[in-house]
Chain A
């Protein structure tokens, strides 16, 4: 875990709140909660990804552009770390 992780998770939650079109409030979701079970769709993942990239000044590499990257807030935070070249 990097020091960025709190800020990353805030930015991810904000992007989900604004563009996720989830069927419940993001504040009610744990970091591990399945986002697709909360109504996340592939159409919405696109907007969420762009918002996260914009907020954090990163770009997800091509190999992360799949469904498993978007399955939870944890998975997204991990992907953000990978995009920065962290592990």
Chain B
């Protein structure tokens, strides 16, 4: 009995053959071609237009964050399997010689590097909370965050990259306003994705918490209905759908961790709406084909109408 083709195999071949993506030589690492980029930019502009009413403050962050920020999010307690840190060379001439010797022998030389105190950012909104320490104005604040995320889950599935961008609309305020932000924005994002022909569902979800202890985290996240995902079938109706967006109510987790308070002096509550940019772009190619010029007219009109 021959093993069946992996579900992602055909899509991956088409994306590579048509130059939408190119391989970089490690699982989950791709170069993004001009067709990909054109769709990415149109999708991003549509997303920003859709949520223009939020009047969100734009902030952008580097792809790495200080370890002090990473610590406060508790990320390594929940997701050690996805965590990545940066290492740097701090030695002198002698240590460099050792490194070169190791390298010349064909062995891994990264062991000669030292932790830099910088972590790969796992979520676009995490570094935002570090600049919110203090007291929020009445009504809270709304943010537009487009950031690079790293998650160590090497996979040849083009829907599961190790680095990708999330575009988030984040709110920091009180419990009511945070919940309202999540529940008001998520259906509008689902409708936007539907208008692109993606046929999405909005479903309760939990994050992939690690190990035995993660079962508690996942169970209580679901019990409290904190997380929802917007999912779409990329590999046909018989394969589990893939999340392309999420809507999260964080309770006071980040408010407590970063010392953020609402106008009444209570610990702030936060929520975010996130769109997985690479995943959504690939879902569009999977749905409509490898040449955006040939996509259905109504989909093209939604994506490119304002650009003529």
B216–A42 contact, CB under 8 A? yes
How many interface residues does chain B have, given as a range?
10 to 19
Cα of A60 to Cα of B217 in the assembled complex, Å: 15
B220–A42 contact, CB under 8 A? yes
Interface core residue of A50, A62, A66 (most chain B CB under 10 Å): A66
Contact with B along A48-77 (1 / 0, CB 8 A): 011000000000101001110110000000
* B window 265-294: CB within 8 A of A: none
Cα of A60 to Cα of B212 in the assembled complex, Å: 9
A62 and B215 contact, Cβ closer than 8 Å, known pairs A42-B220, A43-B253: yes
B77–A66 contact, CB under 8 A? no
- Chain A contacts for B77, CB-based, 8 A: 43, 46-47
**Beyond A46-B213, A50-B213, 20 additional pairs, beta carbon < 8 A:** A41-B253, A42-B217, A43-B77, A43-B78, A45-B216, A45-B220, A46-B217, A49-B213, A65-B212, A65-B213, A65-B219, A66-B216, A66-B219, A66-B220, A67-B216, A67-B219, A67-B220, A67-B223, A69-B216, A70-B216
Contact with A along B73-102 (1 / 0, CB 8 A): 010011000000000000000000000000
- Chain B contacts for A46, CB-based, 8 A: 77, 213, 216-217
User: 8 A-B pairs, CB-CB below 8 angstroms?
Assistant: A42-B220, A43-B77, A43-B78, A46-B217, A47-B77, A65-B212, A66-B216, A66-B220
- Chain A contacts for B217, CB-based, 8 A: 42-43, 46
Interface core residue of A46, A50, A70 (most chain B CB under 10 Å): A46
Nearest CB of B to A62, in Å: 6
Q: Please give me the residue from chain A that is nearest to B252 by CB atom.
A: A41
Cα of A41 to Cα of B252 in the assembled complex, Å: 10
Q: Please give me the residue from chain B that is nearest to A66 by CB atom.
A: B219
- Chain B contacts for A67, CB-based, 8 A: 216, 219-220, 223
B221 part of interface (Cβ distance < 8 Å): yes
Cα of A84 to Cα of B213 in the assembled complex, Å: 19
Q: Please give me the residue from chain A that is nearest to B215 by CB atom.
A: A65
Contact with A along B202-219 (1 / 0, CB 8 A): 000000000011011101
- Chain A contacts for B215, CB-based, 8 A: 62, 65-66
Q: Please give me the residue from chain B that is nearest to A50 by CB atom.
A: B213
* B window 212-243: CB within 8 A of A: 212-213, 215-217, 219-221, 223
Nearest CB of A to B212, in Å: 6
A62–B212 contact, CB under 8 A? yes
Nearest CB of B to A35, in Å: 12
Shortest beta-carbon contacts, A-B, top 3: A42-B220, A65-B215, A46-B213
Cα of A2 to Cα of B126 in the assembled complex, Å: 46
Cα of A75 to Cα of B215 in the assembled complex, Å: 18
